[in-house]
Amino acid sequence: MSAEATNPEAHPEARPELRRRGRTRLDLRRLGRAALLGPTSRDRLPDAIGHVAEAHRAHHPDADLSILRRAYLLAETSHRGQMRKSGEPYITHPLAVTLILAELGAETTTLTASLLHDTVEDTDVTLEQVRAEFGDEVCFIVDGVTKVEKIDYGAAAEPETFRKMLVATGNDVRVMSIKLADRLHNMRTLGVMRPEKQARIAKVTRDVLIPLAERLGVQALKTELEDLVFAILHPEEYESTRALIAAHAGERDPLPAIADSVRGVLRDAGIAAEVEVRPRHFVSVHRISRTRGELRGSDFGRILVLVGENADCYAVLGELHTCFTPVVSEFKDFIATPKFNLYQSLHTAFATPEGFVAEVIVRTRQMHRVAEAGVVALGNPYATATPDPATDPDEERVDPTRPGWLSRLLDWQQSAPDPDTFWTVLRAELAQDREITVFRDDGSATGTISLPAGASCIDAAYAQHGEAAHGCIGARVNGRLTSLSSALSDGDTVQLLLAQDASSGPAAEWLDHARTPAARIAISSWLESHPDRAMATTSAARAPLSVVGARGGGGNAVADLPDATVRLAGCCTPVPPDAVAGFLVRGGAVTVHRIHCASVAQMRAVGRTSVAVHWRATADCRVTLRAESFGRPHLLADLTEAIAREGVEVVSATVEPPVEQRVRHSYTLQLPDAAGLPALMRAMRDVPGVYDVSRV
């Protein structure tokens, strides 16, 4: 896994701000060459993991370190004789990975598994031995990290490795934490590899590992990985940025003085807070230099304010905006609306009297810990979870912290037909940087669906129903009927409508509106397995089928205008005893609308002559109804039969071509009695496949 890694001092300049910073923080670069196991007493840790013990106790003062001692002894003994390409003992790698996690605040179980993460793969140690010595939990994590089988996938090796990693991570997010720390140490030690191999590993890290670190909220790992990748893939821009930072280091930095001003303001306001300057890392400096052009002294860092409670964050914000000139466009509230990776903070900026613009981040200390370490800071999310995956390995573990994006990855990766498709779609999925949550309402249960921003009803259908969504024909969003291509917004309520015909399938046009990998893979697979049906869905739309009867006119509406032709408006289809209004139109005809029809205001606005109209004493009436239904054979015949059973005459009928498995029927009907209209509409709704009947 990491036997190719070498020089642990590679790219030490990638984070020069860590050397300049005179405060305690997560320092991921401290570990040099670890000492080999030397004489130790039974009651203390070997010297080689003294750094790990110190970092771990800083976050967990009461932690039992005896299990770390036993794990180190097993790891060192089993790896003894194995060397890295740099000539270092192999045990330095698991030690470095474990220190990274200890600095982030990982709990003891994670650190124990990290020390052992290569033993089962690269030595004679077995999972049974790990379970017997360290328990089911550590064994479960080690098993998740281990490559169970060494198969030469050739070009597919990297995709298959990450597919396994995702599956393992789905059962325990701590597996991903160890994998990220493992990759970080390997990225630090790429010095002796061939340039082309360095570039290949850096590209994979850029495309997959860095987005995963971002989504898991582990900013401390993400920022260093970004700098290391930047140095390998863009050496010229990296050197230019390094020179820019070096030139700034020799100039007067205005941020410390600005931080002192902020401290004074908060002290006068009685707000207890820590204020410090956080220099930007290389990639951040490079990005803002491209957007802002020439950088000023305050652009090379940001001010971080740490407080105790959430309310203090807003108190700090109020003082800053009162005492300084705020830059309103820079304000963002990630406390009220956290990012999908658990990140919470207030972001703002203000202008100083000297003309500098200082960016400020305000958060609580707990928010700061989560912002730096993400899921690593959550400890063991499975402490009370059931069932126990150690006793039933096939049972999925209940994870209250698993984000929606990870669940989606686990779902669609099972359907990815080949490694290339998996790799391409994985990169596209990880490129999504925002999520929305919609509420589902299927008549029997209400729950939530997490989707990427820009997702459509098609994505919601496959997220909720899987392959059964092939028969989806429409949706109601917030109670209103809409097409499957409609984009969803955060907080929408979605009711999906499924066809009863099991042979229904998606249209090729669905791929234009599907955003999630699960939906796109399922649709593509169906279209490939049904080429004839796929061609049919893309054929030109047919003209509507119309059946017209012999009657017409204004039904039993009478206008107070002799010899005038009376027409019932098709936009609102008035029937007795609706309140109506009449207007004279071209040709001397009078068109009759319901009084609340939108066309009434339009007629008056254009100056149409108003004509008094009333209903005849007879009870018969004419009305136009629209039936929304699933496409199926004999539907027109069944609807016509239902109408006939109610004793209603069909004046005309129009059937539109199917759209997304949905068919729309419009009927102009002559009713013998207007009181029978509700019963007629109920009879039409009772026809199998019809899900809505309304007056036009």
* Residue 576 confidence (pLDDT) above 80: no
Q: What string of DSSP letters covers 306-351?
A: EESSHHHHHHHHHHHHHHSEE-GGG-EETTTS--TTS---EEEEEE
* 36 has pLDDT over 70: no
Kindly report the backbone phi and psi dihedral angles of residue 184, in degrees, each rounded to the nearest multiple of 5, phi listed first. -60, -45
Q: How confident is the model at residue 358 (pLDDT cuts 50, 70, 90)?
A: very high
According to the model, what pLDDT value does residue 254 have? 92
For residue 555, pLDDT over 70 is answered with no
9-14-17 Cα angle (round to 5): 115
More confident residue, 35 or 331: 331
Q: Please report the pLDDT score of residue 410 as a whole number.
A: 58
Residues 6+ apart with CB under 8 A from 302: 277, 278, 280, 358, 359, 360, 361
Q: How far is CA 132 from CA 108, 123, 178, 270, 629, in A?
A: 17, 17, 22, 55, 62
Whether 122 is a known active-site residue: answer yes
Query: Which amino acid, one-letter code, is at 633?
Result: P
Active-site choice (4, 122, 160, 388): 122
For the ranges 21-35, 174-188, 192-206, 239-253, the lowest mean pLDDT is seen at 21-35
pLDDT attached to residue 112? 94
Q: Which of 520, 533, 406, 531 is nearest to 458 (CA)?
A: 520
Confidence class for position 162, pLDDT limits 50, 70, 90: low
Overall average pLDDT of the 274-291 stretch: 91
Each residue of 583-638: pLDDT tens digit? 887 667 888 888 888 888 888 887 788 888 887 766 677 788 888 887 777 788 78
CA distance 224 to 274: 24
Structure tokens at 276: 């410090």
Helix (H) or strand (E) holding 650: strand 649-655
Length, in residues, of the chain: 696
Q: For this structure, is 239 an active site residue?
A: no
Which tens digit of pLDDT belongs to each residue from 563-573? 778 887 767 77
The per-residue pLDDT for 23 is 35
When mean pLDDT is compared across 246-255, 305-314, 441-450, the lowest value belongs to 441-450
Query: Active-site residue among 47, 121, 158, 207?
Result: 121
Computed over every residue of the chain, the mean pLDDT equals 77
Amino acid at 168: A
CA dihedral 585, 553, 637, 659 (to 10 degrees): 0
Query: What tokens does 400 get?
Result: 């209250």
What is the pTM assigned to this prediction?
Answer: 0.61
Question: Is the model's pLDDT at 5 over the cut of 50?
Answer: no
Question: Residue 330 pLDDT > 80, yes or no?
Answer: yes
